[in-house]
Amino acid sequence: MKKNDYLSVAITLGLAMLLIFQLLTGSPPAREIAYSDFRTLLAAKQVDALVVTPTQIAGEIRMPAAAALLAASDAAAIRNNGAPWRFWTNRISDDRLTDSLAAAGVRYRGAPDSNWGGAILSWALPVVGFVVLWSFLMRRGGAMRDFAGVGKSRARIYAQTEMGVTFDDIAGIDEAKAELRQIVEFLRHGERYRRLGGKIPKGVLIVGAPGTGKTLLAKAVAGEAGVPFFSISGSAFVEMFVGVGAARVRDLFEQAQQKAPCIVFIDELDALGKVRGASALSGNDEREQTLNQLLVEMDGFQPNSGVLIMAATNRPEILDPALLRPGRFDRHIAIDRPDLIGRQQILAVHVKQVKLAADVDLAELASRTPGFVGADLANVVNEAALHAAELDKPAIEMADFDEAIDRAMAGMERKSRVMNEQEKVTIAYHEAGHALVAQSRAHCDPVKKVSIIPRGVAALGYTQQVPIEDRYVLRESELLDRLDALLGGRVAEEIVFGDVSTGAENDLDRASALARHMVTRCGMSERLGLATFVDMPAAGGLAGTPGLERYSEGTAALIDEEVRRLLGEAHERVMRTLRERREPLERIARRLLESEVIDHETLLQMIGEAAPATVGVAQDVAQSQVEAVRS
């Protein structure tokens, strides 16, 4: 429906409501009677509240008993109407009228003849005011305009010059860019593909963790192809009014057809495209109607219409299968977290806009930020710039990046939090235990920094480990070493104080989750064998939601026993290590109490030995074993 159509409907509804209001609040209609009947009623004192004009007399009959004095038709009207009965009659020249009114004791007043212009004006003024108010709200963008455009798509349209984003502005996801270059070439040179009968994919679904650059990648495709870019969020289609979401989908695709070739980008597709029928209470709700309309519109496109649908989500497992089939979202592009080289490339893009000191090493920064995505790295660069500006430095130094990384990993430094001496000593030994055990295990990541400075909401201290390289496959021995490092703080408290604190709560959570993962998903239990034990979703439920267990209670008890066994064996190994190396533990704790922070080199000196075998050495050994088997 067009904007003018909404305006016409609104004006019509307003006039109808005004008419009903006038009819309900106005006086009841009057009935005409003969002048002779009026004289009869007046003589019987059955009239009241008379209005006398030069041409008419109007008033009310006092009681239904006056029906006996009137004609049969008028009498029937009085009996059928319980409300006060109004009448009027044409005035006849009567010199005795005033005397008769006084004799009957009737209330009366004079009035001029009816003013039809005033009556019309009383109707016209509200109508004109309504139209003026409507026009004002439409111009100012008020609620009425929102109502008029309730079925319009809220997609923002960007021209190529407005985007300002190309593939050169994106780093760390070279594989995804390579897949999308074909899409760009089709939008630029579609004839080359049509000549051979090729068809462009109707839809491209970009999947990745939050902050990996899904939206930026879609903008870069539009910027490279030089075509209009429609951007809208999936939640913008879903409203409380039935049919609004479907109307917005239709309007969006109509606009896209007019602007073809173009790109329609739907961000957070999971808000719109969740699997249908997942809940027994959902029924045929508004969201499902909107999704059905989206499916229909995507089927209605011609193969080479020049309209490309792109969408992004970080929860592909909950999308409806009808969206993911070929013919709709044909191509799926997964964006993983960047590796070491990718993080260095992303940092190189973001530091172009800031001033760096000579000591800044991007490779070192990339190695210290494992698991960071593009948004995290952009935030680190910005926090470093803010920290340097706060200290009035001429350029951003490595120390500023150190502070930014610490803030990103552990939170802001809590200088206002004052701990008593007992807590401080406990935390110092706790973190010293983590650091000493981690540095004593060949398969643990090296300890970059140990600190007892409170950060964030609950972190009273932390031990920062930085991997030498990205790892995608971990062996059982490596997982056991990580389990030892997690329990190092708790065991150190047991040895030194003979008591434990609540500071190990998070460590125990992570250790328990790691041990259960080893048992139930990785088959690292001889008693359970080569099997996985995971919860199955309930019927009609989504993956990851609580559901039914596909193993018996006996198996569940055995799993619990194996988890306790792994944690118990790790506890014994850590206990032996810290008792044997009690002296380094004391040195590290005392140094933390003095300086609050220990770096990697200082930690190695205090342990009194060279760095243990790293993950890279373990990989070299594994590679030599593989070559021996092949030979």
The kind and range of the H/E element at 426 are helix 421-440
Positive or negative, the CA dihedral 631, 473, 435, 450 is positive
Strands 156-158 and 108-110 turn out to be unpaired
Instruction: Residue 516: name the closest of 483, 551, 485 by CA.
Output: 483
Tell whether 55 and 190 lie within a shared domain: no
Q: Do the domain assignments include residue 303? A: yes
**543-553 pLDDT, tens digit each:** 444 444 567 88
User: What b/e readout covers 83-98, taking b as 16+ CB neighbours within 10 angstroms?
Assistant: eebbbbbebeeeeebe
d(CA 301, CA 328): 10
Residue span of the structural domain in which 66 resides: 33-114
Q: Are 432 and 592 in contact (CB under 8 A)?
A: yes
Q: For residue 121, what are its two tokens?
A: 């004006």
Of the CA atoms within 13 Å of residue 558, those in its CB half-sphere come to 13
431 noted as active-site residue:
yes
CA angle (332, 334, 336) in 5-degree steps: 180
Tell whether 194 and 298 lie within a shared domain: yes
CATH of the domain at 106: 3.30.720.210
Mean pLDDT rounded to a whole number for the chain: 77
Residue 45 pLDDT? 77
The SS3 of residue 32 is: strand
Of the CA atoms within 13 Å of residue 510, those in its CB half-sphere come to 15
What are the backbone dihedrals phi and psi of residue 609, each rounded to the nearest 5 degrees, phi first? -155, 165
Q: Are 234 and 273 in contact (CB under 8 A)?
A: yes
Tell whether 252 and 278 lie within a shared domain: yes
Q: Do the domain assignments include residue 140? A: no
The SS3 of residue 599 is: strand
Tell whether 167 and 271 lie within a shared domain: yes
CATH of the domain at 302: 3.40.50.300
Residue 431 pLDDT? 92
- The number of beta carbons lying within 10 Å of the beta carbon of residue 127 is 13
Q: Do the domain assignments include residue 83? A: yes
Tell me the pTM: 0.64
CA of residue 484 relative to chain centroid, distance: 38
Considering the candidates 383, 431, 478, 493, report the single residue annotated as catalytic.
Answer: 431
Last residue of one domain, picked from the residues 114, 143, 164:
114
CATH of the domain at 369: 1.10.8.60
d(CA 312, CA 269): 6
What are the backbone dihedrals phi and psi of residue 60, each rounded to the nearest 5 degrees, phi first? -125, 150
Residue 631 pLDDT? 38
Strands 262-267 and 307-313 turn out to be parallel
Please give the single-letter amino acid code of residue 177. Answer: K
Q: Do the domain assignments include residue 527? A: yes
CATH of the domain at 600: 1.20.58.760
Tell whether 92 and 168 lie within a shared domain: no
Q: Do the domain assignments include residue 432? A: yes
Q: Do the domain assignments include residue 149? A: no
Tell whether 227 and 260 lie within a shared domain: yes
What are the backbone dihedrals phi and psi of residue 113, each rounded to the nearest 5 degrees, phi first? -60, 155
Q: Do the domain assignments include residue 128? A: no
Q: Do the domain assignments include residue 123? A: no
d(CA 337, CA 147): 42
Distances (CA, A) of 434 to 30, 419, 488, 597: 97, 20, 4, 14
First-to-last CA distance in the chain?
75
Listed in sequence order, the DSSP H helices in 26-159 are 35-43, 72-80, 97-104, 116-140, 143-148
Instruction: Residue 29: name the closest of 85, 77, 67 by CA.
Output: 85
Last residue of one domain, picked from the residues 61, 95, 114:
114
Tell whether 256 and 292 lie within a shared domain: yes
Last residue of one domain, picked from the residues 335, 361, 396:
335
What are the backbone dihedrals phi and psi of residue 284, each rounded to the nearest 5 degrees, phi first? -95, 65
Structurally, the chain folds into a number of domains equal to 4
**261-303 pLDDT, tens digit each:** 788 888 888 888 888 765 544 444 667 778 888 888 887 655 5
Tell whether 100 and 236 lie within a shared domain: no
Tell whether 550 and 429 lie within a shared domain: yes
Residue 199 pLDDT? 75
Tell whether 392 and 470 lie within a shared domain: no
Q: Are 7 and 134 in contact (CB under 8 A)?
A: yes
Tell whether 52 and 91 lie within a shared domain: yes
The position carrying tokens 């009841």 is 28
CA quadruple 68, 72, 77, 79: dihedral, nearest 10:
40
Low-confidence ranges of the chain (pLDDT < 50): 1-3, 80, 141-148, 150-151, 153, 158-161, 280-284, 538-548, 610-631
Tell whether 294 and 438 lie within a shared domain: no
